[in-house]
Amino acid sequence: MSNTRTGIGTPLPPRRRRRRLVWHRTKDLRYHDHPFYCSDGECSNTPITSTITSVFIFDDQVCCGLRPSTCRPKEWMAVNIGPHGARVLLESVADLRQRRPLLSTTTTTESLIVRTGSTVPILLKLIDEIINISEDDSTTEYEICWNEEPGVYEMELSREARQAISTRFPNVRIRTTMSCTLYHPDDLPRTKNDWQPITMNTKKKKEKKQRQRQQHSNSNSIINISSERWNGMPQIMGEFRRTAREKARVRPCFELFSSSNSKSGIDPGEIPTLESLLEPLLLYAMDDEQEDRKPIMGLPSSIIREVCHHAIRIYHENNKNPKMTTTVLAPQHNRRGGESHGLAHLDNFCRNYASKAQRNLACVDNHQSSHLSHYLAFGCLSPRTVEVTTTTTTTTAAWLISHMTMRDFFLYTCLASEKQFYRLEGIPVNKKYAESIRWKSFVVEDNDDVIVVDDSVDDETTTTTHNLWKDWALGNTGLPLVDAAMKEMIQTGYCSNRVRQNVASVLTKDFNIDWRAGAEWFQFLLHDHCVGANWGNWLYFSGVGSDPKQRHFCTVSQALKYDKDGTYVKKWLPQLNASSFCSVTSTKNKYYEEEFHLRPWDFDSSWKRPPISVDSQYAWRDLQRLKETGRLMPF
């Protein structure tokens, strides 16, 4: 019997060929647990041979490209990815290219294609090249796949790509999904009623339907993550997390499969250097005297250049010592981006450090925090991989999974809120409090209405407000914990979550400066910036988001609790070492050695006094102790 026939004499169907182009974006720079490097799960009697081409595009507008600031679009410029973020992005793409041959069953493999420029025209050209070099037969199918990302710009870019591709190549199938969250969008409730708590007698039925939907889900479509999709989603984090745990299951990680991936003849392209990515930003920041030049976030060009140079320094340090950056010995701000390094770090942290990490401390070493944020921000790790690794290697790191659900809340809130996510008035659950805030900045929204701005504003007030803003952004407020955090971010692109909360509280609750200015400056500085997580947290801690409690952080008391001996603040503000000062009066010398790093203004007249009442930076009990005993630390 012929090999081309079945047992009953029927010819086998011709083998279908599929050419897939995977467009990697900034939230899926990995191959493990990736929806487009796994089996499709399609039911078909026709065998399929898949050939995958992968591409990453350094978009001019995304990578350090300038755009009008969200909070002051007529006066300031801002960026989507800052210098430290660009460094991690570049390292992650380089690692992705290095790992690409691992996917193929053949000895000659196609490298990750890298391009620089405008995304949509580049994608159209690549699709055209792939079609032209493929065999011209009716059994070849073409498709382009990518992951959706939360964010107004990110969603708009995806819409532009879909429209352009479907218009020019109507026979090319477009497939999108989203894989940057712990819970898949399709597994979360879809209506307001579905978000309501369920009773135990219906729970088993719900779970059965959920399992069936997950088992038979076909990702061969455009995923719906529009704002309408999230109608009824809880505005309070605790309610979202509770409902998600109750009604959705975390899907298993995708298994990586090998593709038939011979060389296509497409030029793989060169990965740019960090200097070349930062060149437009550095050129823009060269001259403060240009009349038509809008300052980046209203700040001196010197600080923009300084941040760029710190990012370049770390980039070259990592390249000189590539092995060091994969070990626990590497400083957290030097830890290299990339899937390989992320997987190694996750495994090491869960096995050796997760159970004993003191997460509430201001972080001064490698092990008091997971340091997974930049791997998650650029998709080098998936939240599901974190969940699986955590549950299989340790029983004492459930807090990591809890953090993944918090992150989900902010990312889905970003999708649900669309442009409201970036407005001064925000999306408050406590509307009465939000309406009472008197912001000190001039901010005109798209509808030309001035939103809750101080009525007493004049030229002198705006100058004072701008000086407050610069002091906060550059770490010159006189508040040690705040200034240390800003210095750390400027130099490294990182600071721990604890101190991020404190600096956000001071800007918005004490200075009453537009919270979006802080969010955009963080976006410029952070090496782990994620639109949904960063802006969502700023909404939360500024009083116009999902926090019903309206927390105010007293930075001195926070430092007393989480950095009692000053290890953290002294690292970034060496002038806080007591021996640095000689102008301490004898009457105030009693507690000088042990408390100078907490309240330096009480010991040295040359220390810059904070521009707000220092009493506001003490918890009530600490302030009473200080007034009654002259001592801040408990006896």
- 373 annotated ligand-binding residue: yes
Q: Alpha carbon of 300 to those of 67, 235, 287, 297, 471: distances in Å?
A: 17, 38, 10, 9, 12
Terminal CA-to-CA distance of the chain, rounded, Å? 94
Count Cβ atoms below 10 Å from residue 178 Cβ, excluding itself.
Answer: 21
How much is the average pLDDT of 83-101? Answer: 94
The per-residue pLDDT for 286 is 86
pLDDT tens digits, one per residue of 166-221:
999 999 999 999 999 999 999 999 888 888 876 544 555 555 455 444 443 433 47
Contacts of 17 (CB under 8 A, 6+ apart): 48, 49, 51, 134, 135, 137, 139, 140, 141
> Domains in the chain, please, with CATH?
15-184+220-225+269-423 (3.40.50.620), 440-513+546-634 (1.10.579)
Contact in structure between 360 and 568 (CB atoms under 8 Å): no
Q: Strands 16-24 and 77-79: what pairing?
A: unpaired
* Interstrand relation of 113-117 and 140-147 (parallel, antiparallel or unpaired): unpaired
Chain-centroid distance of CA 436 in Å reads 30
pLDDT digits (tens, 9 = 90+) for 523-547: 999 999 999 999 999 999 999 999 8
Q: Is 244 exposed, middle or buried (0-12, 13-18, 19+ CB in 10 A)?
A: buried
The pLDDT, as a whole number, for residue 424 is 95
Band (pLDDT 50/70/90 cuts) for residue 423 is very high
pLDDT digits (tens, 9 = 90+) for 327-338: 444 555 568 999
- State the pairing for strand pair 48-59/16-24: parallel
227 labeled binding residue:
no
Instruction: Give Cα 3 distance to the centre of its chain.
Output: 54
Spatial separation of the C-alpha atoms in residues 283 and 87, rounded to whole Å? 18
Question: Is residue 118 annotated as involved in ligand binding?
Answer: no
User: What 3 state SS string does 134-199 have?
Assistant: CCCCCCEEEEEEEECCCCHHHHHHHHHHHHHHHHHCCCCEEEEECCCCCCCHHHCCCCCCCCCCCC
pLDDT of residue 396: 72
Which amino acid type is present at position 271?
I
pLDDT (0 to 100) of residue 218: 38
Segment 232-263, tens digit of pLDDT: 999 999 999 999 999 999 999 998 765 555 56
Answer whether 314's CB lies under 8 Å from 320's CB.
Answer: no
Report helix, strand or coil for 274.
Answer: helix
pLDDT tens, residue by residue, 373-402? 999 999 999 999 999 999 888 667 788 899
Report the half-sphere exposure of 499 (CA within 13 A, side-chain side).
28
Q: Give residue-wise pLDDT tens across range 315-324.
A: 999 988 765 5
